[in-house]
Structure 1
Amino acid sequence: MNKGTLLLVHGAWHSPSCWDRLVPELEERGWRTSTVDLPSTWGDPQVGMYDDARAVRERLLALEGPVTVLAHSYGGVPVSEVAETVPNVRRLVYLAAHMLEAGEAVITPLGGPWFPEDAELLPAPDQPIETLYHDVPAAWAQAAVARLRPQSARAFTERQTRASWRALPSALIVCDDDRIMPELFIKRQLTMTEVVRHLPGDHSPFLSRPGELAGLVDEVTAALPARG
């Protein structure tokens, strides 16, 4: 059964290659898939969240037919900034992702940056296998670490002007052993949508549990109404 297009939006430090294990599982279940490469991970300190949001919007506008968006981690921020402005977007799924209010940046709920204020490019987190991929098979985890890229600090400081999860049917998938998403974010996001599901394990189930995640994407999208 054709379920429409699922746009996959990666998080900070990552690239579209992070979806390599998930895409076949989704396509077997009837999804067409598409990805976007967020420019804040290209090594340019002058690029930020608004540039990422423009890239997401351009990709959405290029897709025909109904679109569901699956956003991981930081990817939830540029998605929230623009998704409601594209008429064919029907639903949003936030996977271990930030759901911010209009006027907030990633650093806002934390009271400020966790990195030096003069930082421009942020390296990948320390001990990335432990923080991001501790459930991922070793070969895939090592390959994922090798593909991590510097992240523009500006992406974490630019404030959303919209919160598209308020305008579109949205679901949240929480990873129960997430070692990088602050508990503060998880707790407040549990109240932001009625459709919340949990996966065991790490921050990166697209690599550690691709089949389980694909099944859960089917479940939450079936539980959501579609924007007409």
Structure 2
Amino acid sequence: MTADGVPRPTLLLVHGAWHGSWCWQPLTAELNARGLRTRAVDLPSAGREAGVQDDAGVVLEELRRIDGPAVVIAHSYGGVPVTQVAARAGNVTRIVYLAAYQLDVGESLLGFHGAPVPSEPRGLQAVPDNPVPMFYGDVPEAEAKEAVGRLVPQSTRSFSDGLTRAAWHTVPSTYVVCAHDQALPPGHQEGLAARSGAVYRIASGHSPFLSMPAELGALLEEIADA
């Protein structure tokens, strides 16, 4: 319960491209220590030829397992399926976009970047070259190397699929800008953040759940309890 007697929400953690639920482990420990309940999903587009709708289905299924209010924390690509489905669950009180794609109806990840969208996307996108500076520039070296070893190819279709719904039009949203991000530049994040009702900024790279879980945990607790 919060100080005014309102039930604390469960936090559902939704990872980005090439990643899995494993990436949230340090943050989950921090949030649990703060008395917050957490859940995490593994999106099928990481490692398989699945699209946004497949990922959204997994998110919706997990939200329906949560008894009570939920706050969804979406990282990077994870913002795309979360935006597609969060309003349908009925128990989502807020979406937190963590250096994430807060797209609108008709937009896709590739389209947002001005890249051509294939008409029949197939196959998998390999893990990017030099993933440490892109994803983990401020993560301790040993942890960064361990994380790189767990990355998997990402479905091409997940980057190409356009949204048919945009939950942030009806569900309150907060954006957390990662100021030193080398994967989704802060300038792009600021443009996306203009769609959110509240904006916070942290001095991290793309993966603050690994580089500064205590600081991120404190911020998410503040947002969840607001």
Structure 1 length-normalised TM: 0.91
1:3 touches 1:30 (CA, 8 Å); kept in 2?
no
Which residue of the partner structure matches residue 226 of structure 1? none
Kindly indicate whether residue 198 of structure 2 is the aligned counterpart of residue 210 of structure 1.
no
Report deviation, 1:68: 0.6
- Matches of residues 97-108 of structure 1 in structure 2 within 5 Å? 97-108=100-111
Deviation (angstroms), 1:4: 2.4
Match of 1:28 in 2: 33
CA distance in 1, matches of 2:126, 2:133: 16
- Structure 1's unaligned 5+ residue stretches are 224-228
Query: Which of 167, 170, 178 is the equivalent residue of 2:170?
Result: 167
Match of 2:51 in 1: 48
| Matched letter for residue 88 of structure 1 | N
**Number of aligned pairs?**
220
Q: Secondary structure at the match of 1:203?
A: coil
After alignment, is 21-30 or 183-192 more displaced? 183-192
Which one of 111, 118, 121 corresponds to residue 124 of structure 2? 121
What CA distance in whole angstroms lies between the structure 2 residues aligned with 1:186 and 1:113? Answer: 21
How far apart, CA to CA, are the structure 2 residues paired with 1:37 and 1:202? 22
User: How far is the alpha carbon of 1:111 from its aligned partner?
Assistant: 2.1
Question: After superposition, where does 1:123-138 map in structure 2 within 5 Å?
Answer: 123-138=126-141
SS in 2 for 1:69: strand
Distance 2:66 2:196 in 1: 26
Letter in 2 for 1:218: E
Q: Is the 8 A contact 2:172 2:197 kept in 1?
A: no
2:16 maps to 1:11: yes
Cα offsets for 1:89-143 (capped at 9, x unmatched):
111100000000011111112222499x966211111111111001101111111
**Structure 2 SS opposite 1:197:** strand
Sequence identity of aligned pairs in percent?
46
Do 2:98 and 2:175's aligned partners in 1 also have CA atoms closer than 8 Å?
A: yes
Alpha-carbon contact 2:121-2:160 (below 8 Å) kept: no
SS in 2 for 1:53: helix
AA of the residue aligned to 1:7:
L
- The question of whether the paired residues in 2 share the 8 Å contact of 1:4 and 1:32 is answered with yes
Aligned partners of 1:80 and 1:165 also within 8 Å: yes
Partner of residue 57 from structure 1, selected from 52, 60, 64: 60
**How well do the aligned residues superpose, as a CA RMSD in angstroms?**
1.8
For residues 12 and 86 of structure 1, the distance between their equivalents in structure 2, rounded to whole angstroms, comes to 23
| TM-score (normalizing by structure 2) | 0.92
- The equivalent position to 1:75 in structure 2, one of 72, 75, 78, is 78
**C-alpha contact 1:170 1:195 (8 A) present in aligned 2:** yes
Contact 1:22 1:214 in 2 (8 A): yes
Unaligned runs of 5+ in 2: 2-6
Post-superposition offset of 1:184: 5.5
Q: 1:48 to 1:128 in 2, by over 3 A?
A: same
How far the C-alpha of 1:203 sits from its partner, in A, is 0.2
Letter in 1 for 2:100: A
Distance 1:173 1:30 in 2: 22
Distance in 1, matches of 2:167 and 2:121, equals 30
Secondary structure of 2:45 counterpart: helix
- The answer on 1:179 being equivalent to 2:182 is yes
Contact residue 133 and residue 204 of structure 1 kept, 8 A: yes
Partners of 1:63 and 1:194 in 2: CA distance: 24
1:168, distance to aligned residue in structure 2 (A)? 0.6
